Every structure is written in C-alpha cells, then in structure tokens.
Structure 1
Amino acid sequence: MTNSPETKATDRSSQSKMLRGSAWMTAGSIFSRILGAVYVIPWPIWFGANFLQANTLFAKGYQIYSVFLVISTAGIPGALSKQIARYNEMNEYGIGQRLFRKSLILMLAMGVLSALALFALAPVLAAGDPRMVPVFRSLSWPLLIIPLLSIMRGFFQGYAEMAPSAISQFIEQAARVLYMTVTAFMIMQVFKGSYVDAVTQATFAAFIGAAAGLLLLIFYYLKQRGRISELVANSNNELEVSTTDLLKGIVRQSIPFIVIDASVNLVYIIDQYTFNPMMHDFVVASDHQLYNLYALFAANANKLISITVSLAAAMAVTAIPLMSAAHVRGNQKELQHQIGSTLQLFNLVMIPAAFGMAAVAGPLYTLFYAHDTLGISVLQFSSYISIMLGLFTVLGAVLQGLYQNRLALFYLFIGFIVKIVAQYPAIYFFRVYGPLVSTGLAFATSSVLMIAALHRYYHFALRKTIRRLIGVLGFSLVMYLVTAGAVKGLYLVFNPYSRLQSVLVLMISVGLGVAVYAALVLKSRLADYVIGSNLDRFRRKLRIK
C-alpha cells in the first residue's frame, strides 16, 4: 500500500494536531501542577511540627476524593471527546451538540449523587481517624460542579481545541492555591487555630478553583457558539441516532475511562490502607511515625512527580480524539504512524523530565519541604517510577482511542493483581520504598502487555521506536550526570539546607540540564525524527551544526 498525497497530508495534519494539542495541554498541566505544588512551600513554616501530619491528611483526603471524582464524571468527558471527534469526522456536528447537551444534564445528576455519597460515607472512609471526617466532607462540595467543568473540557477536546482546557486548568489551580494559601496563613498564623481546620479549608479550595475554571469555559463556549452553530447548520444530517442510543453509547464508552482514569489513585489507595498495618509487622514504630513515613512517598514525593506525570496525561488527552478520528477513517498507515509518534513523543519528553527531577531531587525537595535525606532519596526513586505511571497513562489512552477498551481493562486488571501480590514482600524488603516498587512492577507489567497488543494488532514501527528510545535514554543519562554533577558542585558553594539557596541551585542546574539535553537531541537530529519537522531554525539560533 503506497502513501498517496492525501494520506501524507492527513498524517502531517494529525502530527501537527498532536503536537499543537500536546503543547497546549502540557503547558496547562505543567503550570497548573506547579501551582498546585506551590502551596506546600510555606506549609512547613506555618504548620511547624504538624506539617507532615497536615500533609498526610491532605493526601489521604485527595486520594479518596479523586476516585469519587472519576466516578462522578463516570469517564464521560473522555468518552465525550472521543465520540464528538468521531461524529465531527463524519460531518455530523449536530449529533455531537445533542450529545453534549444530554451529557451536561447527566453530569449534573452524577455530581449531586457523588457529593451526597462522599458526605455521608465520610465517617466510614475515615477508618477511625476523626480528623479525616471534615476533610472528606469539605471535598464533597467540588463534586457538585467539577463534573460540569470536565464535560465542557471534553467538548472542546472533541473539537481538538486544547487551549480552553489548558487555560481553564491554570485558572482553576490559581484560584484554588490562592484560597488555600490565604486560609492556611489566616488560620495557622493569625488566629493560631487547628491544623485540621486549615487542611479542611485547603481541600475546600477545590470548589473555589472549579468554579473559576467553569466560568472561564462558559465564556469560551458563548464566544464560539456562532461558529459551532454554523458547523451544525452545514452538517450532513444523514445519520439518525436516538437520544437513548446516544446516551447508551456514551455510557458504554465511559466505563473503561472510569477505571483507567482512577487506576493510579486506586493503587495509591491500596497504599493508604495497607502501608501502616504491613509496616507494623516488620518494624516497631508508633502510628505517628508511620504517618510521617507514609507522607514521604504518598504526599511529598507524589505531589512533585505529578508535575512530570502531567506531561503524559496531556499527551493522553490529546491522543484520544485523534486516535478515534483516525480509527473512523480506517487508515491503517495513519494509525501506525500515530501510535509510533505518540510513544516516541512520550519518550522524548517524559524520560528526560523524570531523570532531571531525580538529578535535582535534593534542592527541589528542600525548597518544597525542607532538607531531609530520606525524603530526597524517596523522591529520586519516585521520579523513575513516574515513567511507568506516565507510560501506562498514554498507552491506556491510545487503546481507548482505538476502541480497544476490553484490552485496556484486562491489562490494567493484571497490573492490579501484580500490585496486590507484590505489596507485602515489597514492603518487607524495601520498607518505605516498598509501595513504590510494587506500583512500578504493576504498571510496567500492564504497559508491556499493552505495547505487545498494539504491535500485534496495528504493526506500528516498534523497532524504530525502540531505537529512538535507546537514543533518548542515552541522552537523558548524559543530562542526568551533568545536572547531578552541577548540583554537587554548587553545594560546595551553597548551603544544601537553605530553601532560598536551593532556588539558585535549581535554576542553574535545571538550566544546564535542559541546555545539554536540547543540544544533544538537536545535534543528533533525534528531535526532528520524533516531531516530524525540520528544526534547523532552532539549531541556527543555538549555533548547533
């Protein structure tokens, strides 16, 4: 089968949409995650000796809340973007609009039910810790409106418009962080109140952020309503789909999204309810000490690696509608190209980001939490595990975009079995690193099975992807050595225990690491091969031959 000019043009268009969409979603995710982590910086000062306890309450609340959030949206935003992209490809914009309106009503009902459920179940979910009850109940409020926010993001993503979603993410986080920072300062520093009250307001901040994000998306929708109405008016209107069939289709497509989207949080919940009991079998420690150990990986490290994992999440959100549209066109060559490009782009971005975070773990952890040798070591290990989390996120999205939902769920189920079986021995051998080891094994197993299935069914260029992966790994290792060496060298001049001086160490070492990696991928032309366009103008600006 030869590639016609039309096929090549479609491939270039898909590649361009993938890069543009990923750029928007990556920017939105990165900035929002950084904002979402910024609140931690003053917490050690304001909360004092109760900092790790406060951070643990926050993390435990959010992990349960995240599962309720995925259930409340029922995976419908992802399924909606997939279905809208499908109908738009058929020039049936009217069906997509009708589906969007019905989904809004469904989401409103789901939000109310989920909020009531979390509020009522708070004492049970607290598992005997009365401090968790107000935290869980404060998180029931955002469940009322976040489903509406998510469905509007899904609508724009179905049109391959990632800017509204990205900007709303940033606005949502900015409003949330502003509220939680102000309330934490007022409660802990001005009124000398309870750290539980401060955490409760910090979790309620999700409602404030969601409201801000929703208002922005409503503004975008009203602004584009004329253009959307024109597309609807010029639709083919040849496809007859009943409202019942529309909702059945969206619900059927949404079920895998529920499980896949909640998978990382479900794994974290396994840690939440098993770490302390299992550690009690091996070590003599109080619950307070184990809470502090749990906070090192579940709260502190996870908060920071979520920044790098968000890179993968951004690619996943972009990949789903593009894969779905390519699947509708039935172009096998385009599908092969799209799968290979998605994996190669993930490798090019995610692997150096994870290696880089490991290299600067010392000053990064010190900046956010204060210097702690064990905490820094846990963050370094978590940085490498984040590659597996990100890879699973992208592969799950690719399979769903290709309507391989059962395969995605089956391989996830195998990963969960690995996690459960490995949890106890991993904690026995590796103690605080144990949950990270079992999580890495679980998602690595699922990811290998997913890659094998994609190659088996779609025959994408696996060898080429592996060759370029080796190149990325080599360049990332060089970047890691240079960056880690720079950190050690700077520590001869700067105080590793100073948060302010850690900022300077981070700026210099990260800048050097980025420059080294960029020079390597540009000099070798690896970036050109993966991105699919000529980057000579960047080489000229950087004077790289």
Structure 2
Amino acid sequence: METHNQEQTTSSAQQTFQDSRNKMLSGSAWMTAGSIMSRILGAIYVIPWVTWFGAYSTQANALFAKGYNLYSMFLTIATAGIPSAMSKLVGHYNGLDQYIVSKRVYHAGMYVSAAMGVICAIIMAFGANILADGDANVVPVVRSLAWAVLIIPPMSITRGFLQGYNWMAPSAMSQFIEQLFRVIYMLVATFLIMKIQKGSWVVAVTQSTFAAFIGALGAIMVLTYSYMRHSREMKQLEREGNNNRDISSFDLIVKIIYQSIPFIIVESGIVIYQLIDQYTFNRIMHWFGNYTNYQLNAVYALFSFNANKLYMIIISFATALAVTAIPLLATARAQRDQESMRRQIENALMMFYFVMIPATLGVEAVASQLYTVFYRYDAAGITVLQFATFVSIPMGMYTVVAAMMQGISENRRMIKYLFIGVVVKFILQVPCIWLLEGLGPLLATGLSMFGLNYLVIHSFNMEFGLHFNDMAKATNQILAYSLIMFVGVKALMMLFGLFISPYARHAAFFTLVVGVAFGVAIFTYLALRYRLADSILGAPLDSLRQRLHMHN
C-alpha cells in the first residue's frame, strides 16, 4: 500500500512538472514568436530608414541610440518593474487559488504605474537639457519619448497581469502590433521629412522616436480586447477560488512596490551597461587620441545601434524564456515545490542553450551578408557585429537567470550580483577601450556579464543541486550540432563569395536567405535525427520525423 502511494505521489509530481513544462513551452512559443517578429520588424525598418538619411545615416543612428538608451532607463523606472512583479504576484496568488486578490493586485498596480509614468514623463520633458550631456540634438529626441513613457506603464501592467495567468498570446500579439504601428509611423514620417520636404535629419529622428507613442496606442487596443475576452473566465475563477479578503489595498500597493524595486534594478541591467557606454565612451577615447565628435559618434553607432539592432534579435529569444519562467517559478515557490523549481530552472537553461547557441553561431556565419543587407557593406561594421554576436550570449543568459532569481524571490542576491557586474564593467571599461577602441565596450560588457552569470548559476546549484551531469550530454550535442551548422553555412557563404559580389545588397540578400535556410535545415536535421529536440522539448517527435522521411 505504501509503495502504491509513493508511486502515485511520484506520478503526480511528474505530471505536475510535465504540465509546467508544457506551459513553459507554450508560453515560450508565443512570447518567442511575438518577440522575434517584433525584433525582426524593428530591424527590417533600418534598411529604408538608413537609406533615406543618406550621408546623415551614421549620425542619425548614434542620436537614435542615445535617445533610446535614456528612454529605456526611464521606461523601466516608470513601469517600476511592476509588469514582472505583477506577473510574479499574480502567479503566486493564482497558485493559491486566490484569484480575487490577483485582480486587486492588478488594480493597485495600475494606480502605482500611472503615477510613475506621469513623474518620469515630466522629468524627461523638463530635464532633457541635463540628460543630453551637452548634445543639443538629444534634447528634442528625449522630449518626444516622454509621451510614450506617459502611457506605456498601464499597458505593461496589463501585459504582466495576463502573463500571470500564463496567457502569453495577448502579450505576444500586442508586442507585434506595437512594433508594427511604430515602424509604419516612423518610416512614413522619415520619408516625408527627408525625401519629400528635404528637411532636417534631427527632426526626422525626433519623429522616429515619437513613433514609440503611436506603437503603444496600438498595443493598448490589443490588450484591452484580450482583457475583455478573458473577463468571463477570470470571473469564474474568482467565484470558485479560495479568496483571502483580509489583505487591504494599501498592503497590496506596498507589496507591489516592495516586489517591483528589485525588478527596476535587475531589468535595467543591460540598459545600465549601455548607458555606461553612452556616457563614458567618447570621454575615454579622447584620453587616447585626438578624435572629433563626428568620428566618435560614427564608431559609437557601430556597436550601440547597428550591431545592437541585429544581435538583440537573438537576445529576444532569451527574453521570451525569461518572461515565461517568472510566473511558473513563483507558482512552484508558493506551493513550496523545491523539486519542481529545480527542474524548471534546468529546463529553462537547456531551452536557452538550445535556441541561443545555434542562433549565435548562425548569425556569426552570415554576419557579412546580414550587415550588408541592413546597412550596406562595411568591413568595420561587420567586424563589430561578429564580435557583438558572441557578447549576446552572456547578455541573453543574464535576462534568463535574472528572471529566474526573481521568480524564486532571491531579489537581494540578484541585485548584489548585478552590482558586482557593474563594478567589473567600470573597472574593465578603460583598459578594454584602450586595447580595442570600438570593440572595447563590448568586451567589457561580455566579461563582466560572464562573471555575473557564473555567480547566479553557482547560487542555483548551491540551493537546488542542479544536475549538471544530466544536462551535459544535451549541452554538448547542442554545441556540436551548432558548430557543424556554422562550418557548413560558412563554407557555403565562402563558395558564393567566389561568384557573387559581397558589396551589393541584392546579392547579399539572396545569399543570406539561402544561408539561413541551409543552417536551419542542418541543425533541425541533427536535432531530430539524434533526438536532441525530444529531450529538450520533453515530448517524442516521431510524427515530425516521419513527415520529414527521417528514419528513427
């Protein structure tokens, strides 16, 4: 009898984990699709946008990057980390069947985020001269972005609330619509100003950044529709749930703020690194040579905008995983399921490796063609992209491990690790720029984030006893298949280079499409043939193998 009960318990635990894994896979699929489509749109617009700026394109890229770095920081502060905190708290209370409390958390979060949006928008509008750091062109750009900071916090809160229910589709769709509206507005505005009116490139950049406000309006429409569509289901859960009415609205607001402050700091991690580059790069470069601001802006644009737009597509995979992991881990923690938390951490890490490593090596193999399609051929720009692509691995891992640390409520420890990482970044910034100039900021970021990630994963191992030996086989397979894919695609690109000019955009686009398809085919075949995909996704894929006429 006892043995039978143990078997039932084990079976129930396995089923619970499988359900969690399925939710993560489903959520990751939606968030990855939305994030990737948004990133692709956010990269594709660059092709006509840069072309219409003509000789001003490099300066426009640098100005856009400076404005958006400040915008990202204020947006993180304005949302006060509440979307992720909201997702975590809603997942926590839903795990306890306290759905009415989840709804009250949402309402309290809306009040806080609306107030923060107003405060941050006012600071951006009236403090733009100070934030511009002596660059007058940055002032109108920062002010144009204040409008987006005003309305995005409530939108982000709604996203976090729906994610807490593991409804990832509305967030994914709203991300795509937000990006679509933004890109359409900025392209139309830029074309009218630069090509029709022959106007100022600074005005064109200002309108391009104001497009963030237009995009946010589109996302709000999608989320409002999704909220109304799920309202009946939420009311049913609230009626059937075990609802705790003892928690006051004030207590919920305090709890949201308490939970969100660490999210502000941790989610700002990558932006903090970018702002360090923005405010130190020119100054440090002046120490080591007589460069004009025009020259330094051109170099700054290569790593802060040009390469950033492309490698952030890869990082968006990691971001999708991070968003999905928070509510699942919060639910497991609320249920005090230590084994489930360990398995979910391992599963998230393996999914990260499965996506990030082949994507990184794939971009590395077609870097020349990719850069030429988006910006035009530039040997320096291609070199920066190739270097930045490898840096995207520790940056992407940061988004995943930081989210998981917050999911298990280790906020203070994560802040401590981020502080160490930022200190290391500051220490390495000067010697790295002295050694590698334009590649220096990327190297300093990569090294410091590598150390930061090690501290976090070591912490996971100490607390949960991660099964690295069990993960080793799949990890080695991912690396081996990715390297095989890289060699195959690189060889194909070199072969094309013998017959096709590397300088023409149309030729680069053709070889890029063929190279990407070839790389995806190689990795997919190897992952299916040797059942790597089965072990990562947690389900047999025999039917897919049969459709592809692959022998088991």
Select 1:368's aligned residue among 337, 354, 374. 374
SS in 2 for 1:29: helix
Q: Which residue of 1 aligns with 2:13?
A: 7
Q: In terms of mean alpha carbon deviation, does 252-261 or 62-71 score higher?
A: 252-261
Deviation at 1:229, TM superposition (A): 1.2
1:362 touches 1:376 (CA, 8 Å); kept in 2? yes
2:500 touches 2:507 (CA, 8 Å); kept in 1? yes
Deviation at 1:462, TM superposition (A): 1.9
Distance 1:494 1:274 in 2: 41
Distance 1:295 1:488 in 2: 28
Q: Does 1:499 align with 2:469?
A: no
Select 2:291's aligned residue among 280, 285, 289. 285
Q: Indicate the percent of aligned positions where both proteins have the same amino acid.
A: 45
Q: Does 1:530 align with 2:549?
A: no
After TM superposition, the structure 1 = structure 2 runs for residues 507-522 of structure 1, keeping only pairs within 5 Å, are 507-522=513-528
SS in 1 for 2:47: coil
After TM superposition, the structure 1 = structure 2 runs for residues 121-136 of structure 1, keeping only pairs within 5 Å, are 121-136=127-142
Q: Which residue of 2 aligns with 1:80?
A: 86
Distance 2:467 2:255 in 1: 32
- Runs (5+) with no aligned partner, structure 2: 1-5
Distance 2:489 2:10 in 1: 45
Distance 2:243 2:327 in 1: 21
The C-alpha deviation readout for 1:297-349, integer Å capped at 9, x for no partner, is 01100011110000000000000000001111112221111111000000000
After TM superposition, the structure 1 = structure 2 runs for residues 455-494 of structure 1, keeping only pairs within 5 Å, are 455-494=461-500
Q: Which residue of 2 aligns with 1:247?
A: 253
Q: Does 1:294 align with 2:290?
A: no
Q: In terms of mean alpha carbon deviation, does 187-196 or 427-436 score higher?
A: 427-436
Q: Does 1:349 align with 2:355?
A: yes
Distance 2:417 2:186 in 1: 38
Letter in 2 for 1:203: T
Deviation at 1:101, TM superposition (A): 1.1
Letter in 1 for 2:264: I
Distance 1:431 1:182 in 2: 36
Deviation at 1:41, TM superposition (A): 0.2
2:101 touches 2:244 (CA, 8 Å); kept in 1? no
Distance 1:7 1:232 in 2: 26
Q: Does 1:439 align with 2:445?
A: yes
TM-score normalised by L of structure 2: 0.97
SS in 2 for 1:495: coil
Distance 1:191 1:465 in 2: 59
2:112 touches 2:253 (CA, 8 Å); kept in 1? no
Q: Which residue of 2 aligns with 1:427?
A: 433
Distance 2:261 2:70 in 1: 19
Distance 1:53 1:464 in 2: 50
CA RMSD of aligned residues (A): 1.1
Q: Does 1:215 align with 2:221?
A: yes
Distance 1:310 1:472 in 2: 19
Distance 2:139 2:77 in 1: 20
Q: In terms of mean alpha carbon deviation, does 429-438 or 175-184 score higher?
A: 429-438
Q: Does 1:226 align with 2:232?
A: yes
After TM superposition, the structure 1 = structure 2 runs for residues 6-405 of structure 1, keeping only pairs within 5 Å, are 6-238=12-244, 240-405=246-411
Deviation at 1:544, TM superposition (A): 2.3
Tell me the number of residue pairs that the alignment of Structure 1 and Structure 2 aligns: 545
- Find runs of 4+ consecutive structure 1 residues off by over 6 angstroms: none
Distance 1:239 1:350 in 2: 44
Letter in 2 for 1:229: K
Letter in 2 for 1:365: Y
SS in 1 for 2:422: helix
2:158 touches 2:223 (CA, 8 Å); kept in 1? yes
SS in 2 for 1:4: helix
Q: Which residue of 1 aligns with 2:424?
A: 418
The C-alpha deviation readout for 1:119-153, integer Å capped at 9, x for no partner, is 11100111111111100000000011100110000
The C-alpha deviation readout for 1:396-433, integer Å capped at 9, x for no partner, is 00110001111111111111111000000001111111
The C-alpha deviation readout for 1:270-321, integer Å capped at 9, x for no partner, is 0011111111222332111111011100110001111000000000000000
2:366 touches 2:515 (CA, 8 Å); kept in 1? yes
Q: In terms of mean alpha carbon deviation, does 98-107 or 141-150 score higher?
A: 98-107
Letter in 2 for 1:420: F
1:320 touches 1:400 (CA, 8 Å); kept in 2? yes
Provide closer, same or farther for how the CA distance between residues 294 and 238 of structure 1 changes in structure 2, counting only shifts above 3 A: closer
Distance 1:500 1:201 in 2: 29
2:87 touches 2:160 (CA, 8 Å); kept in 1? yes
The C-alpha deviation readout for 1:74-107, integer Å capped at 9, x for no partner, is 0011001100111111111000001111111221
Q: In terms of mean alpha carbon deviation, does 178-187 or 253-262 score higher?
A: 253-262
Letter in 1 for 2:301: A
Distance 1:455 1:462 in 2: 9
Deviation at 1:238, TM superposition (A): 4.0
Distance 1:95 1:201 in 2: 41
1:44 touches 1:370 (CA, 8 Å); kept in 2? no
1:92 touches 1:239 (CA, 8 Å); kept in 2? no
Q: In terms of mean alpha carbon deviation, does 157-166 or 350-359 score higher?
A: 350-359
SS in 2 for 1:285: coil
1:343 touches 1:465 (CA, 8 Å); kept in 2? no
Letter in 1 for 2:90: I
Letter in 2 for 1:108: A
SS in 1 for 2:127: helix
Distance 1:239 1:452 in 2: 40
Distance 1:397 1:464 in 2: 23
1:29 touches 1:166 (CA, 8 Å); kept in 2? yes
Distance 2:220 2:412 in 1: 32
Distance 1:112 1:493 in 2: 57
Letter in 2 for 1:98: R
Distance 1:72 1:227 in 2: 30
Deviation at 1:464, TM superposition (A): 2.1
Q: In terms of mean alpha carbon deviation, does 234-243 or 261-270 score higher?
A: 234-243
Q: Which residue of 1 aligns with 2:3?
A: none
1:388 touches 1:447 (CA, 8 Å); kept in 2? yes
Distance 1:285 1:216 in 2: 48
Deviation at 1:488, TM superposition (A): 1.4
